[in-house]
Amino acid sequence: MKILVVDDELDVQFLFEQRFRREIRSGELSFAFAHSGEEALNYLSQHPSEIILILSDINMPGMSGLELLRKIREHYPSPPPKIMMITAYGDVDTFNQAMSYGADDFLTKPLDFGGLKDKLNTTVGT
């Protein structure tokens, strides 16, 4: 399964690559990385129907994660990818907004990779 990670922090890529080294090597998971919302939209348009799950930071320069979420839900309705929002601030307003925009889940930083892995399994498994 292919996961698109959207975060302006470049180091996030290394984190994901190292943390899911075995899963990547076994071909269980594959990752694509985008460092901004614009980049993410660009990638999605070039690789339609490839991504199953999107993990997106909310607080980014330029297009924010929530805006990205809204645009994806507008322009890529079929087949809709799962989208999980990640933020450093777990405030209720942001959560509600994300959910109203059509987020599937809401994660807080620092990422609990163990929990994330379980969620991936559940999400994809179902």
Partner 1 sequence: MRTAYLLAWLLLLEMTAFGQTSVTTGQWLRTGWKFHPGDNLAWADPAFDDHQWESLNPADYLQEWQQDRVAGSGWFRLRFRVAPALAGQPVTLLLSQIGASELYLNGRPIHRVGVVSAQPADEQTRYISHQPIHVTVLDTGVQVLAVRYSLTKSNFYFNLPIPVGWGDNPAYALQLEPATASVTNYARWEAVGAVPVAFTIGFFLVLAILHLFIYISFRKGKANLYFGLALVQLSIWRLIPPLLIWAELPVSLHYSLLWAGYGFGALAGTFIVLASYQVFRRKLDWGFITLAAFWLVVWATLPWNPQSITVSIAGTFLVMLLAAWVAFLSIRPGNRIGWLYLIGSGLWVLINLLMFQINPETNVSGMAVGQAAMDIIIPFVISIVLGNGYVRANRTLEAKLVEVEQLSQQALAHEREKQQLLSDQNKMLEQQVAVRTAELVTQKDELEQTLKNLRATQDQLVQKEKMASLGELTAGIAHEIQNPLNIVNNFADISVRLADELQQEMVAGNTEEVNTLTGYIKDNLQRVSQQGQRASAVVKSMVRLARTSSGEIEPTDLNALTDEYLRIAYQNLKAKNDSLTVDLRLHLDPSLGKVALMSQEMGQVLLNLYDNAFYAITEKGQRHPGGFQPQIEVTTRATEGRRVEIRVRDNGTGIPEEILPKIYQPFFTTKPTGQGNTGLGLALSFEIVTKGHKGELSVETELGEFTEFIISLPE
DSSP-derived letter for residue 43 is: H
Q: Give the ranges where 3-112 is alpha helix by DSSP (H).
A: 11-19, 21-25, 37-46, 65-75, 92-101
**Span of 10-18, 24-32, 46-54, 95-103 interacting with partner 1 by CB under 8 A:** 10-18
Q: Tell me if 28 contacts partner 1 by CB under 8 A.
A: no
Out of 2, 19, 70, 117, the only residue in the binding site for partner 1 (CB under 8 A) is 19
Q: How far is the CB of 42 from partner 1 (least distance, A)?
A: 19
Write the interaction track for partner 1 spanning residues 31-70; mark x where CB under 8 A is met and - where it is not.
----------------------------x-x---------
CA 52 from centre of chain = 10
Residue 36 CA to residue 22 CA, distance in Å, equals 27
Closest to partner 1 by CB, 111 vs 124, is 111
If binding is defined by CB under 8 A, does position 99 make contact with partner 1? no
Nearest to 102 by CA among 75, 126, 69: 69
Q: At what angle do helices 65-75 and 37-46 cross, to 10 degrees?
A: 20
Binding site for partner 1 (CB under 8 A): 8-9, 11-12, 14-15, 18-19, 59, 61, 88-89, 109-111, 113
